[in-house]
Amino acid sequence: MLALTSHSFALLSPLVPSTSHRSPSPIPTSTRTSSARASMERSRPHFPFLPPAHRALMFNLLATVDDRLDSALLPCAVPPDVLSFQNPQGSAHGSVHIRSGSQSSPVDFVLQSWLHCKTPSGSEINIATLFAFLNSSTDAPHFLFELIQGSPTSLVLLIDLLPRKDLVLHPDYLDEFYQSTNLDGPRRELEQLPQISPYRSSSLFIRSVLSPTAIAITVDCGKEGPANAIEDIIAGQICSAAEKIVGIWLEKCAGAGERVVGDGEKEGLEGRDVLIKRNAVEIDLAANLPRMFVPDVAERVVGELRKAFGV
């Protein structure tokens, strides 16, 4: 929703008012235990509408990032009415949580969001996003995770380390972050599953931003499959792939303080990053959020994102 994929809004466009509301489900106990997890569960929204495996995966990823980056991040300053918002009919709900990096950190910000809505057919769409952006003190890649579940048996998944240099002109960059880390391995493993096929965004801009090792897939378990088939894939293969990739990003990218970036190169990095952030806010969110939420809610959310993104 809040990262790069306009496919999210293509799924969400056929909204109609609905007054139904579902009480939040209990948060499943994760296998991970840490002080960061306990703090996170107290201070962050609990993804009340996400299916259990989907929700557990988000908490695992967020706890992993918090464990490693907590001291490098400032407290969340997002107001309560952006941490949790909905449309008047109660048919669409969302949350945005942003932590900016400290002055000495290579992290620009870490954004997590979720979006839930009911469609005219009575089905539910759930989108969860984790987007970690680095600043121009490093040229290491950004991290993107987005899971878009459009039905109980199907979803679209994006996981990537977004390159910030031309991989043809800089083969050493390609080797350091993509080749030597075997970043293509999780994608190959996922695409061996019979329920999985490659996903191609309709946006050429989005496809140009992704790396050649990006996980961009559709998972379709079919209406005749077991009821918990997609939950099993999320809890198993998708969770494994996501944890491997976020671990690589934390070790090789967020921890890449020894990389030297010259002043001239910093200007190029900042310009490229601004284009990505501006596209996400102005082309995607500012144009589409008002279709789901009343204008003042959409403006409030977009305003906080502009502030965090610096666009």
pLDDT tens, residue by residue, 45-102: 567 788 889 999 999 999 999 999 988 999 998 999 999 999 888 888 999 999 999 9
> What are the extents of the domains in the chain?
48-309
User: By C-alpha distance, which of 47, 285, 24, 9 is closest to 150?
Assistant: 9
Cα separation, 284 vs 5, in Å, equals 8
pLDDT attached to residue 140: 95
pLDDT attached to residue 90: 86
Q: What is the largest CA-CA distance in the chain?
A: 57
User: By C-alpha distance, which of 143, 139, 140 is closest to 158?
Assistant: 143
48-309 adopts what CATH topology? Answer: oxygen-dependent coproporphyrinogen oxidase (3.40.1500)
% of the chain with per-residue pLDDT over 70:
83
Q: What is the pTM assigned to this prediction?
A: 0.86
Output DSSP code: residue 73. B
Instruction: Pick out the chain residues at pLDDT < 70.
Output: 1-46, 225, 227, 256-258
